[in-house]
A and B are shown apart, each in its own frame.
Chain A
Amino acid sequence: MTAITDLKRDAAKNGWITAPGFIDLHAHLREPGFEESETIATGARAALAGGFTTICAMPNTEPAIDSAGLVAEVIARGVAAHAARVLPIATITRGRKGKELADLVELAAAGAVAFSDDGSPVSDGQLFRNALEYARAAKRPVFEHSQDLALSAGGVMHEGVVSARLGLKGMPAAAEETAIARDLSLARVAGGRLHLSHVSTAGSVELVRRAKADGLAVTAEVTPQHLALTDEWVAGSRAFAWEDDGDRVTPYGTSTKVNPPLRTAADVRACWVGLMDGTIDAIATDHAPHASTKKDVEYQEAAFGISVFETAVPLLLAGIAAGWGTWDRVVAALTTGPARVLGIDLPKDDLVVIDPKAVWTVAASSLLSLGKNTPLLGRTLTGRVVACAVDGELRLDLTRAAV
């Protein structure tokens, strides 16, 4: 533990921030099946560079993580990576096909920390009710990607003024909000632990707020990108929600294509308000790395997703600097909040050290993730993770370079 003690002393001396290691409820590590986009090892290292010492791996891989053997394999590869702690999420339905429940009790026993068909909602209301009820026996939360597929069909960005101008098919806020309303209604009858993934609209935040006021045991997460970027980024803006419009880049940049889509500045503001008043429990990255072949195409053909791990902290710090949130609340949403969602204790000997004044420019070569798909490329950000410890072991250390 001397390394950790030294690190804390250096942090105090240099004006660095220390915090318990961050827990990410929502990450796509792409292995098995899409190793050109990310692997468990590269993802777990990139997570550390973003301050995340625990990451929950989404099961939308090929094959999908829907059996005890696959859960065990993800755990084994996570241990072998020896970087961030990797916790597997298993599917809700067999093959992520939305037709029949996966063996939830067995998956939990194998080490799955939650269930999700992320990327696809469970459209069948009866099946989703069954999932919520049956997951109680497995003592695990259900993470739902709430989206009405008929309302969002063909959509590639948020439906609004910008999509109208760009001639791109939009996904209305209602596609998310009607699905969340359904999920909350089902949770009322089913009980169980419903966790809403990547909430992104003002209406969604309000629905969760009211459900919590009614005493429903629901939790929700928001991503750093939905706390900073807006749909104007698709049109070439690179101004954060709290900034005035400045220089623009070429429109239709596919690194802005993400699901749920980047929303309006008013939605970003509502997400911050929800985060601050406790409506939103956790900040989760939805880190979604993609190989360039999936993104170097027409906007409507491009894959959804942003590579987020390594830019999450500076995005959040920028929002705090703008006065939209506080560091204490952000740290809680990165640590105790997600731990409560998972029903686990905060790992005692995890630590993250952040240099809040470090100024750096995001470049493809500076990202450890194989996914370079971030609209922040070329942008100068303030704040950087300089060290991480997992179980008392220093696994990321840039302090010598940073001093």
Chain B
Amino acid sequence: MTWQRRHVLATDDWTKAEIEQVLDQTGAMVEVLNRPIRRTPALRGRTVILFFAEASTRTRVSFELAAKALSADVTNITASGSSVEKGETLLDTVRTLTALGGDVIVMRHSASGAPYFVAERTDAAVINAGDGWHAHPTQGLLDAFTLRGALGDLAGKRIVIVGDITHSRVARSDIDALVPLGATVTLSGPPTLVPSAWRCGMTPRGTIYEPDLDRALDGADAVIALRLQTERQQAGLLPSIREYAKTWGLSEARVARMRPDAPVLHPGPMNEGVEIAAAVAHGARSLIETQVTNGVAVRMALLYLLAGTEATA
């Protein structure tokens, strides 16, 4: 199948075949990363601009390693705070990025929808590395790849996502990657941190909401814990972090309610002792480090599909 998409902004309108194509390509990239010399010329002569308008180390480094493993030239543009604070508009930045002539713009931005704004105004391919609460498609795809590796075919599998769903681009992109592959997703977390519509019977296709985490985990095939921002407590959405940890934190006893060996994922960085106990984060079920490794491979796969010039072999 020939790759058709110019940008990766969200996977909410992707077909199962498109997601599987990325995952299969990711498998090939894992092989590249397992070679003694982790480098292929697939993007030789291409320029990848990493535009991170919101603080990030892990995702930015992951994309940088991915681009370099494909022999692309990589440029970093970082900006602290919002574009408004620094006195330069996003429109100015887009014009600059376009003038710089990058082939791919990888961008992270605090405003939901910002990658659409950029994609509409540039000739480059745009990869969304996280926009506000909206989407983080490479995280969703790497979670799907990681879960497929652990569970095989995801059709009929039940995956729990627990935590601050409302403010989580990871949750949205996990849903958008897992549901097309046939998985069902159980969302769990405090009612104040789940979108009102999703609590009132209008959950996204393939998902349900179960506020009781124990019930959500009973017999589940995997769980993804989300990072809890402590500022949610200050905003009045939670009585206390302690109560959150007790009610929605992943303890050893809780994860044991899932099927034997059901894996535990977390997009990082973790608040150990809040949304996940240290013993779970570093225990036998944890795939959290595998996620980091797979993240590089999935980003290589997408860069290659969007801008590859040579075969990866």
Taking Cβ atoms with an 8 Å cutoff, the residues of A that contact B are 159-161, 163-168, 170, 172, 250-252, 293, 296-301
Contact = CB atoms under 8 A, between A and B. Distances in A.
A252 B116 contact: yes
A257 to B, nearest CB: 11
A297 B91 contact: yes
Nearest to B172: A167
A169 to B, nearest CB: 8
A204 to B, nearest CB: 18
B134 A167 contact: yes
B195 A163 contact: yes
Given A164-B166, A164-B196, A297-B84, 12 more contacts: A160-B196, A161-B197, A164-B198, A167-B169, A168-B113, A168-B134, A250-B120, A252-B113, A252-B117, A298-B114, A299-B111, A299-B113
A296 B118 CA distance: 11
A93 to B, nearest CB: 28
Contact of B91 (A252, A296, A300): A296
13 contacts: A159-B196, A166-B113, A166-B134, A167-B169, A168-B113, A172-B196, A252-B112, A252-B116, A296-B89, A297-B83, A298-B117, A299-B111, A301-B111
B133 A167 contact: yes
Contacts of B172: 165, 167
A160 B197 CA distance: 5
A170 to B, nearest CB: 8
B132 interface: yes
Interface in B124-155: 131-135
Nearest to A293: B89
B116 A164 contact: no
A293 B89 CA distance: 9
Contacts of B195: 163-164
Nearest to B53: A298
Contact of A300 (B89, B112, B166, B197): B112
Nearest to B171: A167
B12 interface: yes
A168 B111 CA distance: 9
Given A166-B134, A167-B134, A298 B198 contact: no
B239 interface: no
Contacts of B169: 167
A166 B116 CA distance: 12
Q: Which of A165, A170, A293 has the most CB of B within 10 A?
A: A165
A164 B194 CA distance: 9
A378 B120 CA distance: 16
B193 interface: no
Nearest to A160: B197
B68 interface: no
B204 interface: yes
A172 B200 CA distance: 14
A261 to B, nearest CB: 14
B196 A298 contact: no
A298 B113 CA distance: 7
Nearest to B166: A164
Contact of B132 (A164, A167, A293): A167
Contacts of B114: 298
Interface string B159-171: 0000000100100
Contacts of B84: 297, 301
Contacts of B89: 293, 296-297
B202 interface: yes
B91 A299 contact: no
A300 B114 CA distance: 9
A301 B134 CA distance: 16
Contacts of A172: 196
**Closest 9 A-B residue pairs measured CB to CB?**
A252-B113, A167-B134, A167-B133, A164-B195, A298-B111, A167-B112, A161-B197, A299-B113, A164-B197
B30 interface: no
Interface in B96-114: 109, 111-114
Contacts of B112: 166-168, 252, 299-300
A53 B282 CA distance: 72
A165 B196 CA distance: 11
Nearest to A159: B196
A167 B135 contact: yes
Contacts of A164: 166, 195-198
Q: Which of B109, B169, B195, B202 has the most CB of A within 10 A?
A: B195
B28 interface: no
B83 A298 contact: yes
Contacts of B197: 159-161, 163-164
Contacts of B132: 167-168, 300
A265 to B, nearest CB: 14
A167 B197 CA distance: 12
Contacts of A297: 83-84, 89-91
A300 B111 contact: yes
Contacts of A299: 111-113
A166 B113 CA distance: 8
Nearest to A252: B113
Contacts of B134: 166-168
Nearest to A162: B197
Contacts of A300: 111-112, 132
Contacts of A298: 83, 90, 109, 111, 113-114, 117
Nearest to B90: A298
A251 B198 CA distance: 20
A293 B90 CA distance: 11
A322 B134 CA distance: 34
A296 to B, nearest CB: 5
Contacts of A160: 196-197
A36 to B, nearest CB: 15
A389 to B, nearest CB: 42
Interface in B1-41: 12
A165 B12 contact: yes
Nearest to B204: A165
Contact of B113 (A159, A161, A251, A293): A251
B124 to A, nearest CB: 16
B191 to A, nearest CB: 13
B105 to A, nearest CB: 16
Contacts of A296: 89, 91
A81 B91 CA distance: 35
A218 B104 CA distance: 57
